[in-house]
Chains A and B, each alone.
Chain A
Amino acid sequence: MVEFRFYSKLDLTILVGRRAKNSRQLLEGLRYVPESSIYFHTHKFLLQYHYITPVPPNDFAQWAITSLNDDVLGERLSSVDVVQYDSLAALKESIIRVVEEHVSENGSRRECPPGEEFHFMASQAFIIPTPIVVRTLEEFAAHLEHVSLNSLYHHMFDARLRLGRGENDFSAWFRGIGKEDLAEEVRKLDPYLHTLEGLRKRLEVLVRRHA
């Protein structure tokens, strides 16, 4: 049977060297930065604040609300539903469109207080193998609780968008071992609505049901 090795991903945070103090500069920055920066600002907090549910809004929305004091822009950016996008390019385009529309309707005179500028960041990702290898669904369910949150995050979030694999690694493996229904159930799971521990538990329940 095809085995599944759990990997973990560790990020080095890169300062892109670009900042914004109003919505127009945010827009210019969004156009300039690489897709990895968009991924960083829409995902980093999921791991940083993995214990909170519902998760806080993405960094762009959070900044618009707390520093720019622009609740309308903040709400619009919060409602960009990341799970609906299959590629970072499409996600980036959508975020740019939200800010573009907001700037054209409302201008960009509102500025954040000095010291609260938005700083664009990105990450360099290092993927390392863990010693955990499973061959069956029973083994998968049994080992899932020992896997680090970094690892869980990597297979559920990074795989689909950051690595551009189109779907999470677990669904791909389930499909590969003939568990099509389980693969679909996990693929349809919206990971953005759970804490990482909640996601771990949900996965375990689903896998045990099919084991």
Chain B
Amino acid sequence: MLRIEDYAPIVGQATIYELFRLARQLEGKAIQNINSTAVGGGVAEILSRMMPLLKQLGLNARWDVIKGNEKFYAVTKKFHNGLHGVPVEVSREEYDWFLEINRQNAEEFDFADIVFVHDPQPIALIEKRASIGRNWVWRCHIDSSQPNKAIWRFLERYITMYDAAVFSAPAFEARLPIRQVLISPSIDPLSDKNKDLPEDVVNATFERYGIDRSRPVVTQISRFDFLKDPLGVIKAYKMAKRSMDMQLVLAGGGATDDPEGPMIMEQVKAEADKDKDIFVLFLPPSSDLEINALQRGSTIVLQKSLREGFGLTVSEALWKGKPVIAGAVGGIPLQIRHQYSGILTHSIEGTAQWIKRLLSEPEFAAKLGSNGREHIRNNFLITRHIKDYLLLFLSLFYADDIVHFS
């Protein structure tokens, strides 16, 4: 098991000290995380990595999962899609069922002093507040910048009963009468996906796929769906390749909710068949070490998304010191300041142009990469995420703009 001290060589001993000092201020407060699944998905992944670290800091923290059934999750899937702005219809009966399951769970839970509710599935547990009080925070992990209005109106009734709402990017904020806090997600620098790898492991991965590391490699790691624009990536690569030698790697999982997904996948495959320098790799979910190696061995990493929740693959690549060219959408501009810690683009042509410039100017590319790594160290590692959660919990008890602890 990882220890909080294992992060000291990465973020500095002073940062670890600060976490312990903040945690001390929360002595005597029990903290309860509640979400809808113990495994699978980004929320469960970050909680499973974070919980042991919170306990090592001396916090009385626990994690509970609500119990639902197929019918309940069918409704919450609609909520999820609705928050993403997808048109969905939810019937009165479905809303009632959602509330019924939340009420059943609320009766079974033993609520802590601070109840930290993640995403819409358990949102209506807040009804319990009327009888038990406590401090309640709702954390939205979803891109809610353009939500379906009916779904938002329903959820808003519950969100406004909380003490605070937490969003991952500024664009996700809403007009709410409660305090809204920005807490970005994070990557774990000691996980398989991000930990340092010996050079021979990187080389072996490239050899296994027949990719030549002696020539430039431009890589995008993401699902093959419309919003990640793999076809736009291929077009940008072709435009850039007219004047420079390079290979393109498109790697990611095939699973997608996008109805156009299969068609896009076919087109990507067809393009790859025409060009021996395009490598399309369909990776199973357990490919963290391979993704790590592919990012580390690439010359440039792309994330040419048309829409993003947060786009943590950008942080992953920057953490490896790679120059990244990415679409200026979702949480990506938080991770990249244009021409300082990476490149933000808005078009296929712009992406192609920057690929050529970075391949032509390796020193500038390397500077972007090293700046990017420092930016991630400071802002997007799990230790910063823990710090933000500790401050969030403290903010429930201290209202002043500036809080002094002595």
Residues of A bordering B, CB below 8 Å: 8, 10-15, 17, 19, 34, 36, 45, 47-52, 56, 62, 66, 113, 115-117, 119, 121, 124-131, 146-148, 150-151, 162-163
Contacts and interface: CB of A to CB of B under 8 A. Distances in A.
Given A48-B378, A52-B340, A130 B14 contact: yes
A39 to B, nearest CB: 10
B171 A12 contact: no
A126 B405 contact: yes
B312 interface: no
B243 interface: no
B233 interface: no
B337 interface: yes
B331 to A, nearest CB: 11
Contact of A119 (B173, B378, B388): B173
B25 to A, nearest CB: 8
Given A15-B182, A51-B371, A128-B405, A8 B173 contact: no
A10 B12 CA distance: 15
B388 A12 contact: yes
Contacts of A56: 337, 340
Nearest to B399: A124
A119 B405 contact: no
Given A115-B171, A127-B403, A10 B391 contact: yes
Interface of B: 12, 14-15, 17-18, 21-22, 145, 167, 170-171, 173-176, 179-183, 328-329, 333, 337-338, 340-341, 344, 346, 371, 374-375, 378-379, 387-388, 391-392, 394-395, 398, 400-406
Contacts of B346: 113
Question: Which of A11, A125, A126, A148: most chain B CB closer than 10 A?
Answer: A126
Contacts of B329: 115
Contacts of A49: 337, 340-341, 371, 375
The 8 closest A-B pairs by CB, nearest first: A148-B14, A119-B170, A12-B391, A15-B180, A13-B182, A15-B173, A51-B374, A125-B402
B386 to A, nearest CB: 11
Contacts of A66: 338, 344
A128 B14 contact: no
B371 A163 contact: no
B173 A17 contact: yes
A164 B243 CA distance: 56
A181 to B, nearest CB: 30
Contact of A147 (B14, B341, B403): B14
Contacts of A146: 14
A17 B180 contact: yes
A132 B11 CA distance: 18
Contacts of A10: 18, 22, 387, 391
Nearest to A127: B404
A14 B170 CA distance: 10
Contacts of A148: 12, 14-15, 18
A8 B14 contact: yes
A48 B15 CA distance: 15
A121 B170 contact: yes
Contacts of A17: 173-176, 180
A163 B402 contact: yes
A134 B340 CA distance: 37
A40 to B, nearest CB: 11
A14 B378 contact: no
25 contacts: A8-B18, A12-B394, A13-B182, A15-B173, A15-B181, A15-B182, A17-B173, A17-B174, A36-B401, A49-B341, A52-B371, A66-B338, A121-B182, A124-B391, A124-B402, A125-B401, A125-B402, A126-B22, A127-B405, A128-B22, A128-B405, A129-B405, A130-B17, A147-B14, A148-B15
A66 B328 CA distance: 10
Contacts of B182: 13-15, 121
B378 A50 contact: yes
Question: Which of A10, A11, A162: most chain B CB closer than 10 A?
Answer: A10
Given A10-B391, A115-B329, A148-B15, 8 more contacts: A14-B180, A17-B173, A17-B180, A47-B378, A48-B378, A49-B341, A127-B404, A163-B402
Contacts of A130: 14, 17, 21
Contacts of A51: 371, 374
B389 to A, nearest CB: 10
B181 A127 contact: no
B11 to A, nearest CB: 10
Contact of A128 (B21, B173, B181): B21
Question: Which of A15, A131, A151: most chain B CB closer than 10 A?
Answer: A15
Nearest to B338: A66
A131 B20 CA distance: 12
Nearest to B391: A12
A45 B337 CA distance: 10
